[in-house]
Amino acid sequence: MEKKYIAQWSCPSNIALVKYWGKLPNQIPMNPSLSLTLKNSVTTTTVSAQNLNAPFELNYLFHGEHNAAFSKRIQSVLETWQEHFPFLKNGQWRIESENSFPHSAGIASSASAMGALALSLCSIEHEILGTLNTSESFQRKASYLARLASGSAARSIYPGIVSWGTSELVENSSDEYATPLSIDVHPSVLHLNDAILIVDDQPKKVSSSAGHQLMNNHPYRNNRIEQANNNHKSIIECLTSGDFQQFSTIVENEAMSIHSLMMSSTPWYSLLHANTFEIINRIQYFRAQNNIPVCFTLDAGPNVHVIYPPNVKQQVESFIQTELKPFFKKYQPDEMGNGPEQLK
């Protein structure tokens, strides 16, 4: 009987503190970025393959159901990956995927989805060809391939604080794959929480890919690249020293900068809502009044990520419940996690 290959991985999403915004051909980022790999927001993907000599066939299921749009995207990712996984040109493939967070909750799912898919295919490669023997080579290939599918997914392959993009400050850094940060992070910022406040759960009106493209001829392109490099350097210094005040300044500057870049693109657009502003203004005021280490970041959407260290959890949670609740629809508590997990 034909051998059947099977692999299953769960891979978390990540939230960027220094943002990847703008890319060169082949998914090369215009600037280095840095993120926290999350714990609760994960995609679990099972890949099985058989009859590897038969013509290529894909059966894709999302939460147990056929989904034409997702299936098309996966098919095109697999085509891009054929060059790196020769066995992907043929065979009968079944891919099943599910998210731990509600679908269309407004949480970026491409990072976790493409991370889980890349890891599963690396496992299949290892099973078929016996390659990728070290965890280093395995993770590097998974990160490289995840990047080709969705840039930010490159960072989800590693736990903790992860950098992607060439930087003098990060050992083994590359534009082609992410690298876990090897510095001694100050204990006060070693484990950060991310309370995700879903302001709007509708699909975005402009995709991140379209947003990246608008950076190609953006009048502030060079300044943005310089700003991101400076912020990347400074945030690494803050993570080493534990200076949360400076950390907040950088993280919020990054969030507002990418949204300003969207607003100053041609054509311009904005993904922010009145409630996003209400929430971020209240966070600023709460921090100033109470001297509590808490700040916010935004991904390419209206939802707010409230970032804080564990020692102020109670105060921040109670602030969210009492003062922010009217302005968001759903709440997804998350925190830094231990990275992807192989289940099969």
Residues of the shown chain interacting with ligand DP6 in the complex, contacts defined by CB under 6 A = 16, 19-20, 27, 33, 108, 110, 150-152, 208-209, 212, 258, 299-300
Rounded to 5°, angle at Cα 238 from 234 and 243: 135
In this complex, which beta carbon is closest to ligand DP6, that of residue 19 or of residue 39? 19
Q: How far is the CB of 257 from ligand DP6 (least distance, A)?
A: 11
In this complex, which beta carbon is closest to ligand DP6, that of residue 13 or of residue 123? 13
Distance of CA 19 to the CA centre of its chain: 10
**Integer Cα distance of 239 and 39 in angstroms:** 20
**Integer Cα distance of 192 and 195 in angstroms:** 10
In this complex, which beta carbon is closest to ligand DP6, that of residue 27 or of residue 48? 27
In this complex, which beta carbon is closest to ligand DP6, that of residue 175 or of residue 299? 299
Rounded to 5°, angle at Cα 153 from 149 and 155: 140
What's 318's DSSP letter?
A: H
**Integer Cα distance of 4 and 283 in angstroms:** 52
Q: How far is the CB of 195 from ligand DP6 (least distance, A)?
A: 18
Q: How far is the CB of 205 from ligand DP6 (least distance, A)?
A: 15
For residue 46, what are the CA distances in angstroms to 144, 156, 266, 331, 342? 20, 17, 41, 28, 10
H or E segment and range at residue 297 = strand 295-298
Q: How far is the CB of 151 from ligand DP6 (least distance, A)?
A: 3
Q: How far is the CB of 126 from ligand DP6 (least distance, A)?
A: 26
In this complex, which beta carbon is closest to ligand DP6, that of residue 146 or of residue 320? 146
Instruction: Kindly give the pairing relationship between strand 90-99 and strand 28-29.
Output: unpaired
Q: How far is the CB of 259 from ligand DP6 (least distance, A)?
A: 9
**Integer Cα distance of 11 and 159 in angstroms:** 10
In this complex, which beta carbon is closest to ligand DP6, that of residue 71 or of residue 90? 71
